[in-house]
Structure formats: structure tokens, C-alpha cells
Amino acid sequence: MVDPERLITPEIAKTYGVSQDTVTKTWAQHPDWPASVGKRGRYKAYDAQAVADFVRTHARRPAVELEPQRLYTAQELEAAGVGITAGTIRADRSRRRWPEPDDTQHGVSRWTGATATQALAGRRTYRRRTQD
């Protein structure tokens, strides 16, 4: 019988839209990852609420309020605390992982808050590991 309060790696990956490698090789290596509460088959089981708390704290990009109609440069988006740098925006744009600008007046690329919010919605967060 499956306990809905306990999740195993494949269920965690599916629930949060990440790969099993992300769960086992990134999240589970973090010092704040919850301790297992048992096993199911060959997988360790984790408390579902503890996993949700970890994801909310460590794995999800914090929501930033951007004015939907305002135009932002890459530097302004970085300064607004969207969780990525202006350089990442430029690199992702060259790789077609970031939308084309809504405005390029005077040779400056700018995106509306609505466009930037939509582009950020599908991105995962990656926290830098701290050296102890």
C-alpha cells in the first residue's frame, strides 16, 4: 500500500517536474534535505511535507513582482531580484531559451514585466553550494 504522506525519488521527481538525478544528486546532497523515514522497494521514502518545505526553501525561484507593462533591461531585471543575472539572460537569448525583446529602441533590449514573468515561470532555480 502506498502512503501518500511518504514519497520516493520517482514520485518526488514527477511531483516537482525535475529528473530523478536532480533529486538524488543535487537535492538529496544538500545538508537541509530531510532524512528518510523508511523504504519502499529499493528507494528511500521521505516525508512529503518535509520535501515540500525543502523545495519551497531551496529549489524554487522566489516570486518577484514586476510591473506587467513596464519595460525592463536585463540589468534592471537582475537588480529587481528575479534570480538570474543579466549575463544569463543574454546567454539564454542567444540560445533561444529567453524571448526576443518587446522593445529595442535606441539599440537597448527591453522586455515587459509580463514577458519576463512568463519567461521566468518555467525556469528552475539553482542555488550555489557554500563551502563549509
Task: Report pLDDT digits (tens) over 8-62.
Answer: 999 998 888 888 998 999 899 999 999 999 999 999 999 999 999 888 888 776 6
**Same domain, yes or no, for 12 and 42?**
yes
Flag whether 33 is in a domain. Answer: yes
Do residues 6 and 48 lie in contact, with contact meaning Cβ atoms separated by under 8 Å? yes
Flag whether 15 is in a domain. Answer: yes
- Note if the pTM is more than 0.85: no
H helix or E strand, kind and range, residue 5? none
What is the Cα–Cα distance from 114 to 121, expressed in whole angstroms? 11
Give the three-state DSSP class for 78: helix
Q: Which domain holds residue 86?
A: 71-121
